Structure 1
């Protein structure tokens, strides 16, 4: 009996240590670059507010009626994506950047409606994500109200090939995590008419503003250049969604 109690106590202690270590690890996030975030806060074309469960970015000028619920990569500060979407929002698109449970998208089981509620004036919604956030976005894209899917340095693990989603996949040729090979291997999960855009010289961390990331490749273009190309690709994708909604 004493031996059984000792074993039980030991197992409980080990499990407790594992849980504590995991929680500490999950809460050590890759912080957004302060200077990049401040530039967005000071941009009078963009309004930013913290809604508690997400960061909501809305255009101060004419809105185009399209909104994107965007899921961050694993352990990446949601504010790190403000710079990524600065120009997109300034051009009229609303972007709601979620704050995943424990900073890991797979633990966040909240429906899209939770985040869409922060921008009730949006008529057409799309979902997107970076890295692990993109994998989660693919799952959320099954929602019948979703018009499009945006993948930044990511790919799907579920089959969306038979859907009519307007899909844009933007990848980097120097991405050391969501490598070009991984993106190509999962291409069959997307609709045949999905737009696949590879930015030459960009890496995984170019999709946010949070500094270098372990395991990533070395970018051969500037962060500003990569961000400009990402913004241009996303703006074209949004325009396609908007035009389709008007037909």
Structure 2
């Protein structure tokens, strides 16, 4: 091997090492940026959370937020929060459901994104061991994940509840009872998008729309970029959710 060839190979190896270093740096920067983004959670508003605590027992754990009814029945709902939303932000909107006797467990998902969740449903069911019958549900991206759990556990669940969300998996032949609640002013999971995805659900799925409600009004965490106007009163939204879910699961 000539000196020229050795020099060329050295330069080539140097370029390869430099390229690998650059790729590694980019991966680290992107990962760090995503982790920072995932950690920037939209927190629960204090006043609605305080109201929920007046209605039902609210217990926060590392796995999630449990809403325990004053007189619990044997029915429960595991509910997945939207992306980067504090699970406690759904406590008030689901407090009426819990007050009816349905225990609600709002999951605290991996990296604050339910779509990354790999733990079994029993992770959250174990937070309410007295419950014998479980439904699963979620808001926005949490609803997408709930659909995935429903696809794997349709025979074990009493139903699927979607708030401002729609499925990416086909449940049309699952035989599962499904409730889909849309917000009229939802700028993210619009009523049109929900209608377009309806063929993925069983033919007898129940659809309802809350007049004037936005995407973020399914919880209590403030304004969400890209959303529509919040023209509905939050109390009316909570009542509509309570009526729809208790009628569906009752």
- TM-score scaled by structure 1? 0.92
Question: How much does 1:106 deviate?
Answer: 1.1
Aligned length: 236
Work out whether 1:42 is the aligned partner of 2:68.
no
Deviation at 1:64, TM superposition (A): 2.5
Q: Distance in 2 between matches of 1:74 and 1:176?
A: 15
Aligned to 2:122: 113
> Are residue 3 (structure 1) and residue 12 (structure 2) matched?
no
Determine if the alignment matches structure 1 residue 153 to structure 2 residue 164. Answer: yes
Q: How does 1:76-95 map to 2 (within 5 A)?
A: 76-95=85-104
Q: Distance in 2 between matches of 1:189 and 1:11?
A: 40
- Which of 39, 62, 73 is the matching residue for 1:27? 39
For 2:64, which of 40, 54, 57 is the aligned residue? Answer: 54
In 1: Cα distance, 2:20 partner to 2:204 partner: 56
Structure 1: gaps of 5 or more residues: 240-247
Separation in 2, partners of 1:173, 1:224? 16
SS in 2 for 1:158: coil
2:184–2:210 Cα contact (<8 Å) kept: yes
1:199 aligns with 2:210: yes
1:127 and 2:139 matched: no
Instruction: Quote the offset at 1:198 in angstroms.
Output: 0.9
What CA distance in whole angstroms lies between the structure 2 residues aligned with 1:206 and 1:49?
A: 22
4+ aligned runs moved over 4 Å, structure 1:
none
What CA distance in whole angstroms lies between the structure 1 residues aligned with 2:171 and 2:19?
Answer: 48
Aligned pair partner of 1:64 in 73, 83, 104: 73
Q: Deviations over 1:164-213 (max 9, x none)?
A: 21211000111000001100001111111111001121110110000110
User: 1:109: how far off?
Assistant: 0.7
Give the deviation of 1:2 after TM superposition.
2.4
Q: Which residue of 1 aligns with 2:4?
A: none
Deviations 1:51-73 (A, max 9, x none): 31111111122x23110000000
Q: What's the TM-score once normalised by structure 2's chain length?
A: 0.91
In structure 2, stretches of 5+ residues that fail to align are 1-12
Q: Highest Rg: 1 or 2?
A: 2
8 Å CA contact 2:173, 2:202 repeated in 1: yes
SS of the residue 1:217 aligns to: coil
Q: Deviations 1:199-230 (Å, cap 9, x if unpaired)?
A: 12111011000011000011222122122111
Q: Hey, what does 1:245 align to over in structure 2?
A: none
1:120 to partner: Cα distance: 1.5
Question: What residue number does 2:29 align with?
Answer: 17
